[in-house]
Structure 1
Amino acid sequence: MSQPAEESDWTLRLDRTGQAEAFDALGERYDEAFPHKEGQVASAEWLVTCLPAGSRVLDLGCGTGLPTALQLAEAGFEVVGVDLSDGMVALARGHVPAGVFHRADIADLRPGGPLDLGRFDAVAAFFSLLMLSRDEIPLALRTVRHLLVPGGLFALSMVEADVDDFSIPFIGNAIRVSGYLRDELREVVEAAGFEIVEESSYTYAPAAADVQPEVQIFLRCRRHA
């Protein structure tokens, strides 16, 4: 019989082999391959309209800092970004000098983990949780809940796909991704302690030839008190 999630998930074996290296190799080409980010911009704008200036916001999986960290910083928020890739963090620091960026794993942010960033009024996680296995995604969502103040906001995006730790070609590299079909994604998010306030989706065709068209799901959530 498996242990309850709260006892077992924190000790999951994490396999990040090749994930950061793929994004280190991409550099600025990442933004060139994904030039249209309307859904991401709209979800970040939801945070901008809901939060007062000066709010603390975490960009989880910040990438190059574009567009989200820059959008949030320009709105007057205190922006902290985290990414597993040294190359992405370096680019984010250059693009968003007002932000504070850390090279870190989401597992580092768990309760009792090695990186304590304090609490946030909102967290944005755009396409970062899909880099985790399905076993780890519920843990990552509980980590996000831990990072938020009661009632804090959470903007999440995932690619709709029924896959788990599945290797795909990605702009000349290979990465492993996980995803859910829409109803299951809602269930996983709600089970982690979030109310889904709004939902939208976009059909997206990246500019890179080896990245397949995809359906992107954007959830706008609030942490239950």
Structure 2
Amino acid sequence: MSNTDGHRTYAGYDRTAIDRTGQAEAFDAIGDRYDEAFPHKEGQLAAGAWLAEQLPAGSRILDVGCGTGVPTARQLTEAGHRVVGIDLSPGMVKLSRDNVPGAEFHRMDLADLESRGLGPFDGVAAFFALLMLPRGEIPVALRTLHGQLRPGGLLALGMVEADVDDFAIPFLGNTIRVSGYLRDELRQVVRDAGFEIAGEESFAYAPASTDVSPEIQLFLHCRRP
């Protein structure tokens, strides 16, 4: 159902409680140092390749939390798809537009996706964007993405395996808040949002920066039935 401002509402979810304080500002300050700290991204590239190869050429793909546009928006655009990227950070949106001029980018919150009318999409890439949300919002975000996909559409989801909720961490000289799940719980949250899980990969990742801890990255290949 929807409330009076056109946004869909979900049981137990209070949209007025959304707090992004400091999140976009941190990534504005980080800028292209993000790519320097995470230079390889083998898992993200593999998941992006799965998405690019599974969809017909010219498919419309949403890149959630597009960051600098590298590697995902560039990878999908070069594969012949039409990419729409969104990010809360105006600095990241500018970098994306500079790095991938063949794609379309918008500064916006994922919570506003339904009201902006950008969909529907054939595919969605969401690499490490949902971990920037509190746990109470992640299932809502997944259901929003499910609703933006055409039947049979694909979601490539990347998360860091961690049992944390809205936890403040130092990140490249700034502070951000992150959430995560252990993999069994992540699978359940994704299935509860209406997705089928067609595949899964995990990677041990050590960033180039000593300011960021090593992590286990999980990538789920999902489909909207």
TM-score (norm 2): 0.94
Once residues 77 and 43 of structure 1 are traced to their aligned partners in structure 2, the CA distance between those partners, rounded to angstroms, is 15
The Cα of 1:12 is off from its aligned counterpart by 4.9
Contact 1:24 1:87 in 2 (8 A): yes
Contact 1:61 1:81 in 2 (8 A): yes
Deviations 1:83-132, CA, capped at 9 Å, x for gaps = 0000000000001001000000000113xx2x110200000000000000
Question: Structure 1 vs Structure 2: percent identity of aligned residues?
Answer: 67
Corresponding residue for 2:131? Answer: 130
Deviations 1:9-64, CA, capped at 9 Å, x for gaps = 26351010000000000111000000010000000100111111110000000000
Corresponding residue for 2:224? Answer: 223
Once residues 25 and 109 of structure 1 are traced to their aligned partners in structure 2, the CA distance between those partners, rounded to angstroms, is 25
| SS state at 1:210 partner | coil
Q: Post-superposition, which runs of at least 4 consecutive aligned residues in structure 1 deviate over 3 A?
A: none
Corresponding residue for 2:47? Answer: 43
Contact 1:64 1:89 in 2 (8 A): yes
Query: Which 5+ residue runs of structure 2 have no aligned equivalent?
Result: 1-8
Corresponding residue for 1:53? Answer: 57
The Cα of 1:7 is off from its aligned counterpart by 3.5
Once residues 10 and 145 of structure 1 are traced to their aligned partners in structure 2, the CA distance between those partners, rounded to angstroms, is 20
Which aligned pairs between 1:117-196 and structure 2 lie closer than 5 A? Answer: 117-196=118-197
Contact 1:34 1:207 in 2 (8 A): yes
The Cα of 1:6 is off from its aligned counterpart by 2.4
TM-score (norm 1): 0.94
Contact 1:81 1:100 in 2 (8 A): yes
Contact 1:61 1:125 in 2 (8 A): yes
Q: Which of 105, 110, 132 is the matching residue for 2:109?
A: 105
Once residues 204 and 117 of structure 2 are traced to their aligned partners in structure 1, the CA distance between those partners, rounded to angstroms, is 37
